Amino acid sequence: KKEAAAVLHKFYAKWNKAYSHVIKGLKEIEPDLLVFYNYPKQIRASIYSTNMIESFNNVIKRKAKPKAEFPTEQSLDAFIGIQAMSYNDG
């Protein structure tokens, strides 16, 4: 868990300037992000592979890839929001 927190904090440092709004939100929910590491290693693979959030993340990655870059943080937020609403409808 400590290693994961260190990686997450490096991520914050790298992307805070470009995506401060997103990083702020991640910092607020950090304990929830790392709760995965409270489970024994033996069941983490099962949790990871069946997690709905991972499925949604894959949808976002697949649909955002052709977009390359978003001009503003708000445009990225709007894109993810639209994807979340359509994902929930599907």
| DSSP code at position 39 | S
Predicted pLDDT at 77: 82
Instruction: Return the amino acid letter for 61.
Output: K
Predicted pLDDT at 24: 93
- Kindly list the domain boundaries of the chain, sorted by start residue: 1-43, 51-90
Sequential pLDDT tens for the chain (90 residues): 899 899 999 999 999 999 999 999 999 999 888 888 888 887 777 665 556 777 777 878 877 777 667 788 888 888 888 887 886 665
Q: What pTM value is reported for the model?
A: 0.51
Q: Which two tokens stand for residue 14?
A: 């790298």
| DSSP code at position 65 | G
